[in-house]
Structure 1
Amino acid sequence: MLWFKAFHIIFVTSWFAGLFYLPRLFVNHAMATEPAEIARLALMEKKLLRFMTPLAVMALGFGLATWSSYDFYAGPGWRWMHAKLTLVALLVGYHGWCFKLVRDFAAGRNTRSHRWYRVFNEMPVLALFAIVVLVVVKPF
């Protein structure tokens, strides 16, 4: 079980690196004006998303493997896990939203400003902060 936990942490960390960097590419892409720069950023976004998706799958897989070794529904002291899983589900949705944004940028259909993407870029940071607090502090 400790191996599952270790690999879960490794893949979560790797996935979050992508979740932090991909929206930053969106910021740059939304500000770009040169066709060569736009094409380069679109390629970088596509490659990063293709790289980070298996990391997300592995993070979720090792998380489920770790979860299956515990009885998380044993009582009210496990409500923190329900909150964490809700945040993880939101992160999976965020990852899926990134797929749409990569397609939109590649097709030249972006309608949002770089400021919007700067806010969008902060969502995984807030989720990570909340998840770490839930896991370590177990506030409820």
Structure 2
Amino acid sequence: MDDEALTIGTSPLRCLLLAIENRELARFSSGLFYSGARMARPTKKIDAAALIGETALVRAAIWQNGRAVVAAIVTEATNDAALLPDKAIALVSLTAFPAGAPSRLMLDVPLYSGPQDGATLPAAWLKG
């Protein structure tokens, strides 16, 4: 396989898949991971462990198509930059308590620094 054909005009993910297919991962891995690290977003400074037990507000499509805001408690959190959507400060699991309905466990909800527009669903932010 031609190394030049894999690196010019080919995405790093495609190069990785081709390398794995051909069992030539060792030859390509250092360059792929280096180029991928340069493109990553900078990590946001927030302690994920400190978020556990915090009160948050959440908006999701299951409550009035995202128009209702529901109180929730954060049960798990991560701030791994590779998993975060744009503008999110953490990815959380939470237990939501909608009025007049049973509580609901929600996984992998982006936590933002404040309320987001109506198009961003689901979205959670700390009650401040």
Work out whether the TM-score is over 0.5: no
Which entry has the higher C-alpha Rg, 1 or 2?
2
**Quick one: higher RCO (CA 8 Å, sep 6+), 1 or 2?**
1
How does the TM-score come out when normalised to structure 2? 0.28
How does the TM-score come out when normalised to structure 1? 0.27
| Structure whose residues are more often helix by fraction | 1
